[in-house]
Structure formats: structure tokens, C-alpha cells
Chains A and B, each alone.
Chain A
Amino acid sequence: MTPLPRWVEYGLMPVLNLALAFLLAGLVVLLIGESPLEAVRHIIYGAFGYGEGIGFTLYYSTNFILTGLAVAVAFHAAQFNIGAEGQAYLGGLGAGLACLALDRHLPWWAILPFAMLGAMVFGMVWGAIPGWLQARRGAHVVITTIMFNFLAASLMGYLIVNHLKVPGNASVQSRTFEPGARLPKLEETMRLLGLDIGGAPLNITFPIALLACLAVWILIWRSKLGYEIRVFGANPTAARYAGIRGVRITVTVMAISGALAGLMAVNPVMGEQNRIFLDIPGGAGFVGIAVALMGRAHPLGIVLAALLFGVLYQGGAELAFEMPSITRDMVVLIQGLAILFAGAMEQLFRPALLQLFAPRGPGRAG
């Protein structure tokens, strides 16, 4: 593919895609007789206008950063991991079991490493098995990861109902962790910035997610393994010729991807609900696919895309509050348009942009 200048590829194109998505969403809002500008104002205010809103925006973004990273790492080896949802669900089990086992004995900072380890190991296993099936048996990873999402949901349902549930209580959830085992909110840090996050569950997982971004950047662009992953992703045949073992790369990359997705569950399990509950990821695994696409599988792009979806989630809730004629389904529609244009149809403007910006090739010179 002819390269575009970097600022066009990574800056202009996503912005154009988004602009088109919002334009369409605005038209729909207009159709139902509301003012699109008013709607945008509510979204922006809801996401950034006050401390609690910012807290919620960043809380949701934390989930999307981690699942986005998970999908992106697999992208680099040309593996399409649709299973971040299931890996995160299992990660929730790992994190939750660590908390349930230790919360009566240790403070949160001592439990956190175990919870993170549990989440990552459980997610890793759930990612590595489809990776192995792909590498060894040729079972396509898209199919197997989708199926592993269902397996995860069934397994978790079974475990919660039959083993983790509190006897005599109808709620389908484990017992609540002791207060000492709950992750501290970033209230103090945000107060330094003059913000009161109120009831928002923004917690220490957010900086952890940012560290994970750095780790992924180092892994992909500054390590030998990362180089092998990228070579394998670009051309598996050439990679084999260069002595890179495809099976090892596929399984490793899916394991890392699963671990990152699993890590996401620490945020809701230990930072928000403080228990193991049904549907822990709540769709963040699927949003992660859009985030990775939109962020061009680069950590910086992923942070920005995750932030955008955090804004849409939190601002969308504000919108539904303030403009009752815009229902929840309308908000989902706006989010869907953003995914459609920024993710699925990201190449829409490429031909036109190529005409405008592509460097004139040397083809004619000869």
C-alpha cells in the first residue's frame, strides 16, 4: 500500500472518520427533533464538565485502554483476538479469587499484586488455548476466541451460581470483599488537580493501564520478541525463513493478549463492585476491538481512542439524563456510528487522501 504522510495516516484520517460519524449522528438527533449542538454540549459537559464526570470517563477509559491493548498486541502478529471479552471475564475470576482468599488477612496494596497476577494468568490461559489451537491445529483464532467467549460466560455462570454465591442470598454474585481489600479511589490525586470525583470509581487501575501502554510499546517496538511478532504479522513465510518459529509467536502473542484483557477485570472487580459478579467486562472486550482499530494498534492511539469511548459512555449517560427524548438506544446508535466509521470503515477516505497527499512515486522516471 502506498504510504501516506504520517500526520495524515494517524491524524487526519481518524479525525475525518470521526467527523463523518458525528455528522451522521447529528442528523439522526435532528430527525427526532432535538438540537445536535445541545446534545454535543451535554456529552462534553457530562464527560468533562465536573469532577465526578471526569472520574467516570477515566474509569471507563481504563477498561477500554486495557482491552484495546490486548487486541492491538494480537494485531501485530496478524491475529484477530475477538475473545478479549471472555479473557477479561476469566480475569475477573482470577482477581476475585485472590481477593476472596486474602481480603481477611492483608491490606489492598498487598493483595493487588496477587489480584493482578490472578487476573493475568486466568486471562492468559483463556487466550493461549485459542492461540495454540490456531498454531498447531489450524483452527482459526477468530472462531475459537468467539467460542471461548461463550465458554467463559457459561463457566462463570456455573461457578458463581453453584460455588461462589452467598448461601441464602438470591443475588448471583460472590460475597463482597472486606473494605480493606478495595482499591483506593484516586480522590486525593484528583483533588490536587482541583477536582472532586465524588462517587466515581476511578481508581489506581488507571495509572496501571497507562504503565501497561508503556510496557506494550517497549514490547512491540523495543524488544526482540516484538520484532519477531511484527515480522511474523507482516509475512509469516518470510518470518519462518528468518528462523522465527510461528507456533511460538502465535501462542505467545495470544497469551500476552489474554493477560492484558484479563488485567482489565481488576478495575471493576477490585475497584468498583468489590465482588465477582455476572458479566464483569460488560462489553469492554468488544469495545477494545474498535479502540485498537481506531488507535492503529499503537499505545498512544489506543489511549486517545479509549478516552473517546469513555467520553461517549459517560457523556452518553449524561445525554440520556438531560434530554429524555434521546433514549439509551439513541446513545448506543451514536456509539455504534463511531465504531462503524472509525473502526470498520477506516479506509473510507484513503483513496481520496492518496490523491491529495501521496508522494509522487518514482514509477514514471524510468
Chain B
Amino acid sequence: MRLLSLLAAILAAQQALAEPAVVYSIGGKFDASFNQAAWVGAERFRTETGQGYAEFEPESVAQFEQALRRFARAGNDPVVAIGFLQADAVTKVAAEFPDRRFTIIDMVAEGPNVQSVVFREHEGAYLAGLMAAMASRTGRIGFVGGMDIPLIRRFACAYAQGARSVNPAIEVYVAMTGDTPAAFADPVRGAEIARGQIDRGADVVMQAAGGTGVGVLQAAAEAGVLGIGTDSNQNGLHPGHVLTSVLKRIDVAVHGAFTAAQDGSWKPGVRSLGLAEGGIGIALDEHNRPLVTPRMAAALREASDAIATGRIRVHDLYTDGPCPWG
């Protein structure tokens, strides 16, 4: 018995010694968005524990598998893969290294030694829609998406649903910037689309467009209306003109995977992060405090609770079929 616990202690010590690793998605570490949030989480782990980590920034999709395999072979544990593009590579490499642990973020991959972390972004979008509808005086609000992909469509749908829950007659203008990945990096076009929506009467415009969104928020601030940010806290970009930001805590996910592997609480399977788990959040800080009325704050709290407890079901485009709110 004692021998066993000793063995367990040695094993645990060895696991504590293994450096974790992160493989970013295409686009580089400092993309001011997705990858950077992952990096922030990894850095927080480093400052908290004083323990290093390995990382790799792939240039092409062919390098995912190569990078994952290298880290697994070198003994890195856990190996964290960022982004949906890596799903198949993770499934394949995890099967080759059954005694290593893999975490994939923002997508589901298969395997007994794979943890998949996914986000319920639409819950945050619902709350953003609710706030937009309460802040709007014209009864018209806008949404500027980046690339026209299911992820963004799901976002737009939940935004419309949240807005309708406040004002069933509200008009929601939805526009996508483009149909290539470049649509996530075109602030000029983003501003143009936002201006178009503002000209048609929208007085709150939400962005879910990566780098393009910076232009959307800029245009909203210039026109004297409100913008809504996504992914990271963008309230401070134009204080007083950004109603709120929907936070997607990739950093929490990466940090969580690293620390959980270290303290032994890491578990394979799907982890879905939403409002209840703190993986999705609504940013409230000194920059938008004057904009959020007590009535709005109360409605926000109530809706958050209702979503967390399942009383409100936010439409999930992946599983619930086409968007009923157009």
C-alpha cells in the first residue's frame, strides 16, 4: 500500500515536471484576438507557477500534426491545441500517444486522452442583444459579422433573439463583411458597413468581426451611437461609446488546462464553457458604467441566471436548426 502511494507520488512529481505546450492556430501569437488570448492564459500560468511552457506558431495546416507529435514525443504534457482547424490532428496524434494528455480549444476532438473545450458564445450574444435593445431609442440595432461562417451566424442569431426578448418589434440589421478569412482583418470595410446601418437608423451596432470590428466600433463612436465589442474587453477603446463587450475567455481555458493537468483535476471529454462556468462573460467596468442603467443591469442579471439555469434556451444554430429570428 505504501509502495503504491509512493509510486503515485513519483508519478505525480513526474507529471509536475513535464512542461505543458501550446500549439497556436494560423495567424500567429500576436493576432490581438484568439491566439493572443491563449498566450495570455499561458503567460498567467508561467507567472503564477514559475514553470515554463513550450509553444509553436504553425504557418500552414500541414504543420499542426507535426507540431503536436513533436511536443508529445518530447514529453510535453498537456499539449493544448488552439482552434477548430486542429481537431483531426489532435484526434490522430492523441491516438499515437495514449499516455499524453491533449486539450483542444474551441472544437471537439475524439479520444480517451483528449479534453475538448468549447464555448457557448451565443449565450453572451443573447445578453448583448438584450442590452442593445434596451439601449436603443430608434428600435433599430445593427450587427456586423466578419467572415460568413456558422460560428458568426450563430452569434448573430442569438443577438437577434436577445433583442426580440425585450422588444418583439425591434429591427435587427445583420451584415457580414465578407466570405474569406480577410473579412476578419478589414477595419475600413467594417466601418463602412456600420455607417450604412447607422444611416438606416441603428443606434447600437455590435461587431463579431475580429480586427474588422475595430472599424465598426470606431464608426459607432464617431456617429455618436453605441458599439458592442467581442472576444476581449473593448469597452476602453471608445469610453462611453461601447455599451459592453462579450468576453470569450480563451485565456481561462488555456490556463485552466495547464493548471488542471498540474493539480491532477484534468479530465478527458467535452467541457462546455458558458455564462455559468465563467467562460463567457459580459464586460462591465468603469468605461461603460454610465451606459448601463440599473434597469438594464437587473435585466442582465435575470437573463444570465435564466440562461445558466436553463429557463431561457438560447437558440444554438449548430443543433437547433435555422435561425427563427432572421
Question: Measuring CB to CB, which residues of chain A are less than 8 angstroms from any residue of chain B?
Answer: 52, 56, 59-60, 150, 153-154, 157-158, 161, 165, 168-172, 176, 198-201, 268, 272-273, 277-279, 282-283, 313, 316-317, 320-321, 324, 327-329, 331-332
Q: Say which size band chain B's interface belongs to.
A: 35 or more
Contacts A199-B69, A279-B181, A320-B56 given; does A171 touch B62 at CB 8 Å: no
| Other contacts beyond A317-B67, A321-B56: 5, CB < 8 A | A170-B151, A170-B154, A172-B149, A198-B69, A273-B88
Complex CA gap A150/B57 in Å reads: 26
B84: which of A157, A170, A198, A320 is its contact (CB, 8 Å)? A170
B179: which of A158, A171, A201 is its contact (CB, 8 Å)? A158
Chain A's nearest CB lies how many Å from the CB of B121? 10
Q: Find the A residue at minimum CB distance from B151.
A: A170
B38-94 at interface with A (beta carbon < 8 Å): 54-63, 65-67, 69-70, 84-85, 87-88, 93
Contacts A169-B318, A170-B107, A321-B70 given; does A282 touch B28 at CB 8 Å: no
Q: Find the A residue at minimum CB distance from B73.
A: A198
Is B107 within 8 A of A273, CB to CB? no
Chain A's nearest CB lies how many Å from the CB of B144? 17
Q: Find the A residue at minimum CB distance from B68.
A: A199
Q: Tell me which residues across on chain A come within 8 A of B61, comparing CB atoms.
A: 268, 273, 277, 279, 282
Q: Tell me which residues across on chain B come within 8 A of A199, comparing CB atoms.
A: 65-66, 69, 93
Hey, what's the 0/1 contact readout for B2-31 against A, CB within 8 Å counting as 1? 000000000000000000000000001100
Hey, what's the 0/1 contact readout for B205-237 against A, CB within 8 Å counting as 1? 000000000000000000000000000000000
Is A176 within 8 A of B88, CB to CB? yes
Is B148 within 8 A of A161, CB to CB? yes
A282: which of B60, B182, B318 is its contact (CB, 8 Å)? B60
Complex CA gap A332/B29 in Å reads: 14
A154: which of B63, B93, B178 is its contact (CB, 8 Å)? B178
A172: which of B56, B65, B150 is its contact (CB, 8 Å)? B150
Q: Tell me which residues across on chain A come within 8 A of B29, comparing CB atoms.
A: 327-328
Give me 5 A-to-B residue pairs in the complex whose CB atoms sit less than 8 angstroms apart, sorted by A's number.
Answer: A154-B180, A198-B69, A268-B61, A313-B59, A331-B59
Is A157 within 8 A of B150, CB to CB? no
Is B147 within 8 A of A165, CB to CB? no
Is A328 within 8 A of B151, CB to CB? no
Complex CA gap A282/B85 in Å reads: 14
Q: Tell me which residues across on chain B come within 8 A of A317, comparing CB atoms.
A: 58-59, 63, 66-67
Q: Tell me which residues across on chain B come within 8 A of A56, comparing CB atoms.
A: 62, 66
B150: which of A161, A277, A320 is its contact (CB, 8 Å)? A161
Most-contacted residue by chain B among A170, A198, A200 (CB, 10 A): A170
Residue B265 is within 8 A (CB to CB) of chain A in the complex: no
Chain B's nearest CB lies how many Å from the CB of A311? 14
Residue B319 is within 8 A (CB to CB) of chain A in the complex: yes
Is A272 within 8 A of B147, CB to CB? no
Q: Tell me which residues across on chain B come within 8 A of A169, comparing CB atoms.
A: 318
Is B62 within 8 A of A320, CB to CB? no
Q: Tell me which residues across on chain B come within 8 A of A161, comparing CB atoms.
A: 148-150, 179
Q: Tell me which residues across on chain A come within 8 A of B154, comparing CB atoms.
A: 170
Complex CA gap A317/B93 in Å reads: 18
Q: Tell me which residues across on chain B come within 8 A of A282, comparing CB atoms.
A: 60-62
Complex CA gap A146/B178 in Å reads: 18
Complex CA gap A60/B312 in Å reads: 50
Q: Tell me which residues across on chain B come within 8 A of A176, comparing CB atoms.
A: 88
Contacts A157-B147, A157-B148, A161-B149 given; does A272 touch B179 at CB 8 Å: no
Is B57 within 8 A of A328, CB to CB? yes
Chain A's nearest CB lies how many Å from the CB of B212? 15
Q: Tell me which residues across on chain B come within 8 A of A329, comparing CB atoms.
A: 28
A278: which of B60, B67, B87, B181 is its contact (CB, 8 Å)? B181
Q: Tell me which residues across on chain A come within 8 A of B56, comparing CB atoms.
A: 320-321
Q: Find the A residue at minimum CB distance from B55.
A: A324
Q: Tell me which residues across on chain B come within 8 A of A198, comparing CB atoms.
A: 69
Is A170 within 8 A of B150, CB to CB? yes
Complex CA gap A112/B273 in Å reads: 43
Q: Find the A residue at minimum CB distance from B88.
A: A176
Closest 4 CB pairs of A and B: A157-B179, A328-B57, A153-B180, A282-B60
Q: Tell me which residues across on chain B come within 8 A of A327, comparing CB atoms.
A: 29, 57
B180: which of A157, A320, A331 is its contact (CB, 8 Å)? A157
Complex CA gap A169/B29 in Å reads: 26
Chain B's nearest CB lies how many Å from the CB of A329? 7
Q: Find the B residue at minimum CB distance from A171.
A: B84
Complex CA gap A313/B61 in Å reads: 13
Q: Find the A residue at minimum CB distance from B153.
A: A161
Complex CA gap A316/B58 in Å reads: 10
Is B57 within 8 A of A320, CB to CB? yes
B59: which of A168, A171, A328 is its contact (CB, 8 Å)? A328
Chain B's nearest CB lies how many Å from the CB of A199? 6
B318: which of A154, A170, A328, A331 is its contact (CB, 8 Å)? A170
Chain B's nearest CB lies how many Å from the CB of A268? 7
Q: Find the A residue at minimum CB distance from B52.
A: A324
Q: Find the B residue at minimum CB distance from A275.
A: B88
Q: Tell me which residues across on chain A come within 8 A of B55, comparing CB atoms.
A: 324
Q: Tell me which residues across on chain B come within 8 A of A324, comparing CB atoms.
A: 54-55
Most-contacted residue by chain B among A268, A313, A321 (CB, 10 A): A321
Q: Tell me which residues across on chain B come within 8 A of A313, comparing CB atoms.
A: 59-60
Complex CA gap A28/B60 in Å reads: 24
Complex CA gap A168/B85 in Å reads: 16
Contacts A278-B181, A317-B63 given; does A168 touch B148 at CB 8 Å: no
Q: Find the B residue at minimum CB distance from A267.
A: B62
Is B62 within 8 A of A272, CB to CB? yes
Q: Tell me which residues across on chain A come within 8 A of B62, comparing CB atoms.
A: 56, 59-60, 201, 268, 272, 282
Chain B's nearest CB lies how many Å from the CB of A47? 13
Most-contacted residue by chain A among B93, B180, B182 (CB, 10 A): B180
Q: Find the A residue at minimum CB distance from B71.
A: A321
Complex CA gap A177/B14 in Å reads: 40
Complex CA gap A282/B59 in Å reads: 9
Chain A's nearest CB lies how many Å from the CB of B53? 11
Complex CA gap A321/B55 in Å reads: 8
Most-contacted residue by chain B among A161, A268, A277 (CB, 10 A): A161
Q: Tell me which residues across on chain A come within 8 A of B60, comparing CB atoms.
A: 282-283, 313
